[in-house]
Amino acid sequence: MQVQKDNKIGEIVAANFRAAQIFESFGLDFCCGGKKSISDACKEKELNPEKVISELSKIDEKQANLQRFEKWEADFLIDYIINNHHQYVVYSIPAIENHLQKLASKHGEKHHELVEIQEIFSALKDELLNHMQKEEKMLFPYIKKLKLAVDNSHAIPLAPFGAVENPLRVLESEHESAGKMMSDINKLSSGYKPPEDACGTYRVLYNELNEFENDLHMHIHLENNILFPKALELESKLAMIHSGAANA
């Protein structure tokens, strides 16, 4: 995998999703921080960018090509995000909340981090559910309309939010907020390492939270670094089609 210091992290993962594992191993954010170059991201973490690039070069390209999200059409990618990541969030939240409630009430005095994690996860839940509803009810249907309009070279009414970059800016900000909350949970749990006296439920919870964070990272990456740029490109193509028709 040929990578340079000035390549953006999000673009690298978009081209090869297995690169996400490398960036995560170095503590580099490939979703919310996807617009940073390797050089800038490593500088912030006081890492040697050459070491990161060396690890990226070891990725097996043949295996990496099994899932090329950036090649998917926008409408297909939207369906994948909803059916895979949105459904995962909805399905996972009740179990995590239930385990947090039990553990915080039973072990909260000795392990106060459980109470803090419970508070943060509750806020994260509210933000994610509201965020996903905005995507499913407003943004995603509009992107599908853009795709259909470009494919058939026909006009569509202007969206109530104006240019598509307007909601994208808001949603990216919400992604950053969600990522920050999940990062705080990670730190409070010492990287999801249960204490020595942890019971079975404690260990299950930390595994659930770890999985939840991993899924959120890929979820945000698919939107920030692949779907949203596709939406901007579709809107630009549609404007060119209309411009050409007007000048004909």
Residues 221, 31 contacting (CB under 8 angstroms): yes
User: Most distant CA pair in the chain: distance in Å?
Assistant: 75
Residue 58: phi and psi, rounded to 5, are -85, -5
| pTM attached to this predicted model | 0.78
Cα–Cα distance, 135 to 138 (Å, whole number):
5
Cα–Cα distance, 65 to 115 (Å, whole number):
42
Return the pLDDT at 245.
54
Return the pLDDT at 60.
58
Residues 3, 38 contacting (CB under 8 angstroms): yes
At which residue do the structure tokens 């909340």 appear?
Answer: 97
Return the pLDDT at 65.
44
Which tokens hold the place of 77? 């990618």
Tell me the one-letter amino acid at 27. Answer: G
pLDDT of the chain, 248 residues: tens digit per residue: 578 899 999 888 888 777 888 898 898 988 888 889 999 999 999 999 999 999 888 875 545 445 678 889 999 999 999 999 999 999 999 999 999 999 999 988 899 999 999 999 999 999 999 999 999 999 999 999 999 999 998 888 778 888 999 999 999 999 999 999 999 999 999 999 999 888 888 999 999 999 999 999 999 999 999 999 999 999 999 888 877 655 54
